[in-house]
């Protein structure tokens, strides 16, 4: 489960896994309290029960941990805590894609950030169908799916409701972009094709979840070389 809360990566690691202390900035036991020192970077939390984890995740929605980038929990049962989190939120499913044409990526500009086209599934719509539909609706580009890239989960609040959005991402080829146009009614101000280097720059100050998707795309193209 690739989970992002308040633009921070949350990972659950089985307690039997061997870890290097040098990979973490702080080690914390929730049972002993968070302490008074400000937290930053990558932190590892151990000796935490499921209720404590759920309570801590709620704190992540605030600005108490502005300098923290990644929160890692050592847990007894990864599947169990992930299922508890899913039950604690309303789940909304979405799909989108990294669309490629002549080694350039299609990106949209919305709400002050560069993004990849995506949108919510309609009724019992399949992920691949939703992804191609959303790209066409948001960008006017007809695509063909090459492969699945990854799935991300991120949280937000909508009218006081806690939402957990599951987005399935695909690697897609552009078939026809002659009708390319940003969907203004969805708040898309502009769109364009960018090289890998340009896309990387566009995402510099964007969401961690999008950076993760971009990372998976770069890994996919390396595997074909």
Quick: pLDDT tens for 50-60.
888 988 898 88
pLDDT computed for residue 31 by the predictor: 66
- On the question of pLDDT at 29 being above 90, the answer is no
Residue labelled with tokens 């989190």 = 85
Helix axis angle for 78-87 and 50-60, nearest 10°, is 50
Q: How sure is the predictor about 34, in pLDDT bands with cuts at 50, 70 and 90?
A: low
Neighbours of 181 (CB within 10 A): 12
pLDDT computed for residue 19 by the predictor: 87
Residue labelled with tokens 């090289």 = 195
pLDDT computed for residue 133 by the predictor: 98
- On the question of pLDDT at 201 being above 80, the answer is yes
- On the question of pLDDT at 225 being above 60, the answer is no
- 32-46, 115-129, 196-210, range with the lowest pLDDT: 32-46
The predicted model gives 96-114 an average pLDDT of: 97
For residues 140 and 119, what is the distance between their CA atoms, to the nearest angstrom? Answer: 14
More reliable by pLDDT, 172 or 37: 172
The predicted model gives 188-215 an average pLDDT of: 97
Structural domains in the chain plus CATH codes = 3-87 (no CATH), 90-222 (3.90.79.10)
pLDDT computed for residue 77 by the predictor: 94
Q: How sure is the predictor about 21, in pLDDT bands with cuts at 50, 70 and 90?
A: confident
Query: Does this model's pTM top 0.95?
Result: no
Residue labelled with tokens 């972009």 = 177
pLDDT computed for residue 37 by the predictor: 64
Q: Give the largest Cα separation in the chain, rounded.
A: 60
pLDDT computed for residue 22 by the predictor: 84
pLDDT computed for residue 35 by the predictor: 58
Cα dihedral sign, 172-178-184-185? negative
More reliable by pLDDT, 31 or 217: 217
Q: What are phi and psi of 161, to 5 degrees?
A: -100, 135
For residues 177 and 8, what is the distance between their CA atoms, to the nearest angstrom? Answer: 34
pLDDT computed for residue 140 by the predictor: 98
pLDDT computed for residue 113 by the predictor: 95
């Amino acid at each position: 489960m690739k989970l992002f809360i308040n633009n921070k990566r949350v990972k659950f690691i089985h307690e039997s896994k061997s870890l290097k202390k040098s990979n973490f900035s702080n080690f914390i036991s929730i049972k002993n309290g968070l302490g008074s020192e400000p937290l930053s970077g990558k932190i590892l939390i151990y000796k935490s029960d499921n209720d404590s984890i759920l309570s801590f995740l709620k704190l992540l929605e605030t600005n108490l941990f502005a300098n923290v980038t990644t929160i890692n929990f050592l847990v007894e049962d990864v599947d169990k805590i992930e299922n508890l989190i899913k039950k604690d939120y309303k789940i909304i499913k979405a799909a989108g894609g990294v669309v490629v044409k002549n080694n350039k990526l299609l990106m949209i500009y919305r709400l002050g950030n560069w993004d990849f086209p995506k949108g919510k599934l309609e009724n019992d719509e399949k992920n691949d169908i939703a992804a191609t539909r959303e790209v066409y609706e948001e960008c006017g580009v007809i695509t063909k799916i090459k492969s699945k890239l990854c799935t991300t989960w991120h949280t937000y609040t909508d009218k006081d409701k806690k939402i957990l959005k599951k987005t399935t991402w695909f690697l897609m080829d552009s078939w026809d972009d002659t009708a390319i146009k940003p969907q203004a009614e969805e708040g898309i101000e502009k769109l364009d094709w960018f090289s890998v280097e340009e896309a990387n720059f566009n995402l510099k100050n964007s969401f961690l979840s999008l950076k993760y998707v971009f990372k998976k795309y770069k890994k996919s193209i390396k595997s074909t070389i």
